[in-house]
Amino acid sequence: MNIAEIFQPINDDLQRVEECLQDSADVNIPLVAELLNYVTQSGGKRLRPALTLLCGKACNYNLDALVPMAAATEILHTATLVHDDIIDHAELRRGKPAVYRKWGESTALLLGDYMFAKAGSLAAQTGNLRVVSIFSQTLMTISGGELGQIGIDYNLNQAVDRYYRWIDAKTASLFTMATECGAVLSGCNEDIINVLYDYGHNLGMAFQIIDDILDFVGDKATLGKPVGSDLSEGTVTLPSIMFVLAHRDDTLIKSIVKDKKRDRSTVQRAVEKIKSSGVIEDCFKIATNYCSRACRDLDKIQDPSVRDMLQNLADYVTRRNK
Which positions touch a copy of itself (CB under 8 A)?
A: 27, 29, 31-32, 35, 83, 86-87, 105-107, 109-114, 116-118, 120-121, 124-125, 127, 129, 132-133, 135-140, 142-144, 146-148, 150-151
DSSP 156: G
Distance of CA 197 to the CA centre of its chain: 15
Burial of 13 (0-12, 13-18, 19+ CB in 10 A): buried
Burial of 94 (0-12, 13-18, 19+ CB in 10 A): middle
CB of 177 to a copy of itself, least distance (A): 12
Task: Kindly give the interhelix angle for 63-88 and 47-56, rounded to the nearest 10 degrees.
Answer: 150
Q: Which is nearer to a copy of itself, 35 or 51 (CB)?
A: 35
Q: Which is nearer to a copy of itself, 13 or 180 (CB)?
A: 180
Q: Which is nearer to a copy of itself, 25 or 298 (CB)?
A: 25
CB of 183 to a copy of itself, least distance (A): 19
Q: Which is nearer to a copy of itself, 86 or 203 (CB)?
A: 86
CB of 282 to a copy of itself, least distance (A): 30
Contact predicate 116/108, CB 8 Å: no
CB of 88 to a copy of itself, least distance (A): 9
CB of 25 to a copy of itself, least distance (A): 12
Q: Which is nearer to a copy of itself, 107 or 277 (CB)?
A: 107
CB of 76 to a copy of itself, least distance (A): 10
Contact predicate 52/179, CB 8 Å: yes
Q: Which is nearer to a copy of itself, 171 or 202 (CB)?
A: 171
CB of 147 to a copy of itself, least distance (A): 5
Q: What is the per-residue DSSP string for 21-86?
A: HHHHT--SSHHHHHHHHHHHSS----HHHHHHHHHHTTSS--HHHHHHHHHHHHHHHHHHHHHHHH
Q: Which is nearer to a copy of itself, 173 or 232 (CB)?
A: 173
Q: Is the Cα torsion angle 242, 243, 244, 245 positive or negative in sign? A: positive
Q: Which is nearer to a copy of itself, 76 or 310 (CB)?
A: 76
CB of 68 to a copy of itself, least distance (A): 12
Q: How far apart are CA 298 and CA 177, in angstroms?
A: 18
HEC string of 91-141?
CEECCEECHHHHHCHHHHHHHHHHHHHHHHHHHHHCCCHHHHHHHHHHHHH
210-244 core/surface letters (b: 16 or more CB in 10 A; e: else): bbbbbbbebeeeebbbebbbbbbeeebbbbbbbbb
